[in-house]
A and B are shown apart, each in its own frame.
Chain A
Amino acid sequence: MTAVAEPQHGAVHETGGGPRGWRHLTAPGFLRAAWMMPLFWLFGLGVVLFFRWLADYEPLWDWEVITTVAFLTTMPFGFLAGIGAFDYWAGYVIGRPTPEEDHSSHGATSWRDYFRVNTDHKVIGVQYLATTFFFFVVGGLMAMLMRAELARPGLQETTPQGFNGYVTTHAALMIFLFIIPAFAGLANFVVPLMLGAPDMAFPRLNALSYWLLPIAGIMLLGSFFAPGGPPAAGWTNYVPLSETQPWGNIFFSMAVQWAGASSIMTALNFLVTIITMRAPGMTFWRMPLLVWANFTTSMLVVVATPFIAASQFFVMFDRVMHTHFFDPAGGGYVLGYQHIFWFYSHPAVYIMMLPGFGIVSEVVAVMARKPVFGYRLMALSLMAILVLGFSVWAHHMFVAGMAPWLRVPMMVTSMIIAVPTGIKIFSWLATMWDGRIRLRTPFLFVCGFISMFVLGGLSGIMLAAVPIDIHVSDTYFVVAHIHYVLFGGSVFTIFAGVYFWFPKMTGRMYDEKLGRLHFWLTFIGFNATFFPMHIIGDQGMPRRVSDYADRFANWNLFISISSFFLGASTLVFFYNVIKSWRSGPPAPANPWNALTLEWQVSSPPPVFNFDTIPQVVGGPYEYGIPGARHAVLEPERMHEVAPEEVRS
């Protein structure tokens, strides 16, 4: 992708010189992973057998424990070691002299460089996006299977356990393997560029964070081959049901650990990068709002994600080690699980939304040619959501049987969080107002996002009102709400972001006509699929059922047909991306005439982003002021930016 290879760094790519003979087997790569994985698996097996033998446990060969340790823990480490994610650190640990950094693992000159441990944040960003969109397709196909089953009352296509398995893995893939990491991928590409930094603060950690993702995804898909099938207790994995489910449930518990570890490491990386690697002159109040959004998101991740890790470890311990954290028979506390789970999973909603808010702010300002309205209040409202986000978790538990006095305070905080969210919506509208709007595809998706997210927010207010929630919780009303927020909200902003930065990432322009077609098909399909769910939920259809009362048959058939239409609409997107990446017209450095730093370098950017350190001299959105600049690059850099792109 990056045509601008920098020979002065003396890059020794494996694809160039390459290892010879036996070195093929010991050089980092998939070949080494192929023999290291069984080796690590055997190690895990040995550990289990040794301790069980030592403690005289019967039976010695307990395959549930062996699966947890050997298949789901040590074997993935073998994969990571095999592809070389630990090589540098391992050398350091065993006392080898630290090799001089030759940047051989940095940047990409051929497609093969995307299939190895690469420390370039731009390569990692693309790796993230390609991987997450793969799981988006898989998760989407599972949704289609569910809708095929639900097209008519009664059981036709699946079994009850199979259906619950699709319910669970669809949600788990979309949340942990698509929305959260897709935002991490976009931010990975864009944030260091926006900051004027050559890369993330910890490039090797960044590479490791990415490679944990395919492990988590394959683990979730691999659960389909586990005895008893995939996890089937819902992505919420409530105890005690999850503790009485077949083995597939351990696959869920462990996949969440791998994806969660990836999330936490990326978040730490973003925090350190944003705090320490801003270009000179880039004060916090000159940061683009996308950077602000990822800053807040990262703080949410660092504080909240350990809670879901803990909740899933406890479930797994209860199953495998026979502890009693949540087992009522042993004195465990059933509601305790829900408190720990939602203490992560409510903030997770904001982890899945705040980066999208950042994308929307960028797109609106650039495409409407106006400064973001109330920039400081926009940043502060992100911080307000961050703080309030930790005080609302129990609104998922209004009917769970928790202490009754908790209901009203949690309702009040949940209501208040609508205020900073409202501020953001109104500020975007005010930014558009009186602008010079270029209605390009990213802007269309932003308009779709605003309208759908407002509907999701309004149904959110209804769910926050305890008595209404008592009626509609665990019904299709909630299914409608979550899809308005996470599809109409998060996924629309992911599409906006992908279109917006597509020229920067690939060096090619996407096809505007196809982009618009994609938007309209998705927008219509989305509403036709999810809006009627409000109605059947209110009328009495519970969620997570494979069968339903006959009176909901017509609506369900309509929803199923619409969902196939919605699924098909993404084909336009993939066609556009693949076609444009291969043969789209070359993109100029700054096709949208934007001020932020990522647009001041070539498309795609050079391997180390900036030849000289940029000097930030003003705010990021000074549109409408002639000659205003966000940053100055050294004069010798200027010739690489096409003259017509330079704002005089």
Chain B
Amino acid sequence: MGRRTVLQLIVVGALAGAFATAVALLIPWLGDPASREGERIDQLFWFTIWICVAVFAVVAAVLVVALLNFRVPLDDDRDGPPIHGNTKLEIIWTAVPAVLVTAISVFSAIVLAENGKASSPNPLHVNVYAQQFAWTFEYPEFKNVKLPTLFLEKGRSVKLTMRSRDVIHSFWVPEFRQKQDLLPDQDTTIWITPTKTGVFPVICTELCGLGHAAMRTQAQVFATPALFAAAMRKAANPPQQSGLQIFNAQGCAGCHTLTAAKATQKIGPNLDNLAGDAKRAGKPLAEFIHESIVSPAAYIEKSCADAMPKNYQELIPSAQLDALVAFLAKSGTKTEPRGCGE
């Protein structure tokens, strides 16, 4: 190999490496992690990325320089030199990748072990239940209170013990970087140690049917033990809320249209037409609404699917449920039946 070719390889490799580095650094790939586990995963992520950038630069350099130097016109009829192999080279490109993947494996195994246990004293325990298409978080430490959103405390590790009530779901908070499937026939667990306060999305990542895309809730991290305890107390003994507030707090707007709440989703029936749908079902309006919330499968409009979560009886205290029913009966007054998108 001549000096010129070596120089070409170095220049093209450096250019490709610089390009890949720019792509890696200029695009906000991950955002900031909000958990200790996430910080460890990000370290591993960037360690692997730099190895990938190097491999990409080498391959790009060889490919581009080969095309630049060894291309001939289509009507050229010469052959290249009859080189069948080179044992030294072949050993190098077997050994070097083997070393690199071993390094990544060792780093990964360490991070995995660290992320599989508590990172703070006095960890919190939460039981998580998933079902089509809703989440329930149960706190044994707070008299088994059940919440539709996940409340956490900054700096205090939490162990989520998770179970599905129907099909497979998956719990993911991108900012925490942790993910775990929920199975109907066995418990699964995951550890999270929040390092930032704020509200983060909880996303279902395992295709679970009709409402999969809408199966979202939130994780809220409180700054101090006092704030967390206060939030838990308040959640356990909720103050009286208006029907509209309950509608929004329970996430009804995730699937339904209701003009009074400025909700526009179309997965479930249009609630503006509740009066019409109740008439078609042959039931008094308030009774129809109550039944449709606590046991949604009892009556399903022909144009709809059995997609509504069936855990609202346990999630909504009965006083709130009455307020919600009253609010819906007052708002959904259109008398033509509509179901889902008729």
Interface, chain A (partner B; CB < 8 A): 154-155, 159-161, 164, 167, 232-234, 238, 240-241, 244-245, 328, 332-335, 368-371, 373-377, 399-401, 404, 407-408, 411-412, 415-416, 418-419, 422-423, 425-427, 429-430, 432-440, 447, 450-451, 454-455, 458, 461-462, 465-468, 470-471, 473-475, 512, 535, 538-540, 542-549, 593, 622-625, 628
- Cα distance A429–B62 when bound, in Å? 7
**Could you tell me if B41 and A467 are in contact, using CB atoms closer than 8 angstroms?**
yes
**Could you tell me if B90 and A374 are in contact, using CB atoms closer than 8 angstroms?**
yes
Minimum CB–CB distance for B98 against chain A, Å: 5
**Could you tell me if B112 and A408 are in contact, using CB atoms closer than 8 angstroms?**
yes
Known: A461-B104, A468-B44. Contact between A475 and B213, CB under 8 A? no
Known: A241-B208, A467-B115, A540-B201. Contact between A436 and B44, CB under 8 A? no
**Could you tell me if B206 and A545 are in contact, using CB atoms closer than 8 angstroms?**
no
**Could you tell me if A470 and B85 are in contact, using CB atoms closer than 8 angstroms?**
no
**Could you tell me if A624 and B70 are in contact, using CB atoms closer than 8 angstroms?**
no
Return the chain B residue nearest A416 by Cβ: B101
Q: How many pairs of A and B residues are in contact by the CB < 8 Å rule?
A: 264
Known: A429-B62, A438-B76. Contact between A400 and B181, CB under 8 A? yes
| Given A467-B112, A540-B201, A624-B81, 16 extra CB contacts under 8 A | A155-B266, A160-B210, A233-B207, A238-B167, A241-B208, A399-B180, A408-B109, A425-B59, A432-B66, A434-B83, A436-B70, A436-B76, A436-B78, A451-B63, A454-B55, A546-B213
**Could you tell me if A411 and B30 are in contact, using CB atoms closer than 8 angstroms?**
no
Known: A238-B168, A540-B201. Contact between A461 and B174, CB under 8 A? no
- Cα distance A304–B175 when bound, in Å? 38
> Which B residues, 155 to 212, have Cβ-Cβ distances below 8 Å to chain A?
166-168, 170, 172, 174-175, 177-186, 188, 201, 203-212
Contact of B201 among A467, A543, A549 (CB under 8 A): A549
In the complex, 14 of the A-B residue pairs with CB atoms within 8 angstroms, ordered by the A residue number, are A154-B264, A160-B307, A164-B209, A241-B168, A328-B185, A419-B97, A426-B93, A430-B89, A432-B67, A439-B74, A474-B179, A539-B29, A540-B203, A545-B212
Task: Give the interface centre of B67, B77, B84, B188 by most chain A CB atoms within 10 Å.
Answer: B84
Contact of B179 among A369, A455, A473 (CB under 8 A): A473
Nearest 8 A-B pairs (CB), nearest first?
A540-B174, A624-B82, A545-B213, A474-B205, A370-B80, A415-B101, A328-B185, A435-B80
Residue numbers in B under 8 Å from A440 (CB-CB): 74
Residue numbers in B under 8 Å from A546 (CB-CB): 213
**Could you tell me if B168 and A240 are in contact, using CB atoms closer than 8 angstroms?**
yes
Residue numbers in B under 8 Å from A376 (CB-CB): 85
Known: A423-B93, A434-B80, A454-B59. Contact between A538 and B266, CB under 8 A? no
**Could you tell me if A334 and B185 are in contact, using CB atoms closer than 8 angstroms?**
yes
Minimum CB–CB distance for A520 against chain B, Å: 14
- Cα distance A468–B62 when bound, in Å? 29
Residue numbers in B under 8 Å from A543 (CB-CB): 205
Residue numbers in A under 8 Å from B63 (CB-CB): 429, 432, 447, 450-451
Contact of B105 among A160, A411, A593 (CB under 8 A): A411
Residue numbers in B under 8 Å from A423 (CB-CB): 90, 93-94
Minimum CB–CB distance for A629 against chain B, Å: 14
Contact of A471 among B52, B177, B184, B305 (CB under 8 A): B177
Known: A238-B207, A465-B44. Contact between A399 and B181, CB under 8 A? yes
Contact of A373 among B85, B107, B181, B206 (CB under 8 A): B85
Minimum CB–CB distance for B31 against chain A, Å: 6
**Could you tell me if B184 and A334 are in contact, using CB atoms closer than 8 angstroms?**
yes
Minimum CB–CB distance for B218 against chain A, Å: 12
**Could you tell me if B41 and A164 are in contact, using CB atoms closer than 8 angstroms?**
no
**Could you tell me if A335 and B112 are in contact, using CB atoms closer than 8 angstroms?**
no
Residue numbers in A under 8 Å from B104 (CB-CB): 415, 461, 465
Residue numbers in B under 8 Å from A404 (CB-CB): 116
Known: A241-B207, A437-B72, A455-B56. Contact between A539 and B80, CB under 8 A? no
Contact of B79 among A160, A422, A549, A623 (CB under 8 A): A623
Residue numbers in B under 8 Å from A450 (CB-CB): 59, 63
**Could you tell me if B71 and A437 are in contact, using CB atoms closer than 8 angstroms?**
yes
Residue numbers in B under 8 Å from A244 (CB-CB): 166-167, 209
Minimum CB–CB distance for A573 against chain B, Å: 20
**Could you tell me if A160 and B66 are in contact, using CB atoms closer than 8 angstroms?**
no
**Could you tell me if B30 and A458 are in contact, using CB atoms closer than 8 angstroms?**
no
Known: A244-B167, A419-B101, A434-B81. Contact between A368 and B56, CB under 8 A? no
- Cα distance A593–B79 when bound, in Å? 10
Return the chain B residue nearest A549 by Cβ: B201
- Cα distance A353–B213 when bound, in Å? 32
**Could you tell me if B201 and A436 are in contact, using CB atoms closer than 8 angstroms?**
no
Contact of B186 among A370, A401, A512 (CB under 8 A): A401
Contact of A419 among B79, B84, B94 (CB under 8 A): B94
Known: A160-B213, A404-B116, A436-B78. Contact between A411 and B83, CB under 8 A? no
Return the chain A residue nearest B171 by Cβ: A399
Residue numbers in B under 8 Å from A465 (CB-CB): 44, 48, 104-105, 107-108
**Could you tell me if B205 and A160 are in contact, using CB atoms closer than 8 angstroms?**
no
